[in-house]
Amino acid sequence: MTWNVNIGINPLSWMNDDLPSLGGETPLETALREGKEIGYEGFELGNKFPKDGPGLKAKLDAFGLRCVSGWYSGFLAEVAPGQTNADAVAAEMERCKEHMTKLQYNGVKVVVYGECAGTVQGQIDTPVSKRPQFGSEALWQGYAERLNAFGSHLLKTYGIKLAYHHHMGAYVESPADVDKLMALTDPASVFLLFDTGHAYFGGAADPVALLQKHVKRVVHVHCKDVRASVIAQARNERWSFLNGVINGTFTVPGDGSIDYRAALGTLKNAGYEGWLVVEAEQDPAVAPSYQYAKKGYDTLRALVNELA
């Protein structure tokens, strides 16, 4: 038997878009060459990739790699004064065209939707505890309606599923937030990107339990391990998300506290057949890119082979 999943990686192991001081001098080609050598089948996108579909495909083809997906910064959580839900969705539909067309050209089936309205994830001096939150049921409901409409548009227009990324410092961070989002959104329009590291940091003492609850909605997985002691310190000292990254909150599978055998077993038993993406924001000067990318790949490959 086999388990039909693919193992990919995010270039964050080599270079960080939000913190260019972390690996900013590393050429994209170094990441692609080393990732391919390690065994990865594809890459998620970052700022150094070509911005057009044909250019992106040519770059990845040169290394025998596929485009896994790409982060899309969405702004549907907040509606401007005088703006209707329909207005907000229409603006998002227009704004996303270039990105979605690029993904579609490269055969991508899911887009990483990151909610960036009000987020503090990129503010190095703002604790994640200062993140935005919906103050009423009506605000939650309005957000769900906008996501449903936008997700439906992506499927109909581009054949791409909206994979919602719960994220530290944003509106949907905690297990309760994920539960609420999944309860209010349409399972046919809005899907879940499950990130093991953000689940733990967001308050899931057992990320696998949260995964089990929502696994039928999962269409994309970020495999990010955690250093539990550093996350405890981040919480106690009210660090920003980026200060947590600098100080090592995250690492690759096999180097932290998360039970990946249980997580992958849950995915396999549910029939998951998407990408498993190693994504671990770290300082490559402290966690050498090749060494850690290889550890993440070897950990996932061994478990996938075992489960298959």
pLDDT band, residue 27 (cuts 50/70/90): very high
- Residue 285 located in a structural domain: yes
Per-residue pLDDT reduced to its tens digit, 39-93: 999 999 999 999 999 999 999 999 999 999 999 999 999 999 999 999 999 999 9
Give per-residue burial for 120-140: e unless 16+ CB within 10 Å, then b: bbeeeebbbeebbebeeeeeb
Averaged pLDDT for residues 263-288? 93
Answer positive or negative: Cα dihedral of 166, 171, 175, 176: negative
- Residue 123 located in a structural domain: yes
Q: How many domains is the chain partitioned into structurally?
A: 1
Q: How many CA atoms lie within 13 A of 206 on its CB side?
A: 6
Per-residue pLDDT reduced to its tens digit, 204-263: 999 999 999 999 999 999 999 999 999 999 999 999 999 999 999 999 999 999 999 999
- Residue 180 located in a structural domain: yes
- Residue 1 located in a structural domain: no
- Residue 52 located in a structural domain: yes
pTM over 0.85: yes
Which of these ranges, 12-16, 177-181, 201-205, has the smallest mean pLDDT?
12-16
Chain CA centroid to CA 94, Å: 23
Q: Is the pLDDT of residue 282 over 90?
A: no
Which helix (H) or strand (E) segment is 73 a member of? Answer: strand 71-74
Q: Is the pLDDT of residue 31 over 70?
A: yes
Domain housing 29: 6-307
- Residue 128 located in a structural domain: yes
pLDDT in the model for residue 284: 85
Structure tokens at 289: 């890119």
Which residues have a Cβ under 8 Å from the Cβ of 261 and sit 6 or more positions away? 303, 306
Which residues have a Cβ under 8 Å from the Cβ of 210 and sit 6 or more positions away? 175, 178, 194, 199, 204
Q: Domain with 47 in it: what CATH number?
A: 3.20.20.150
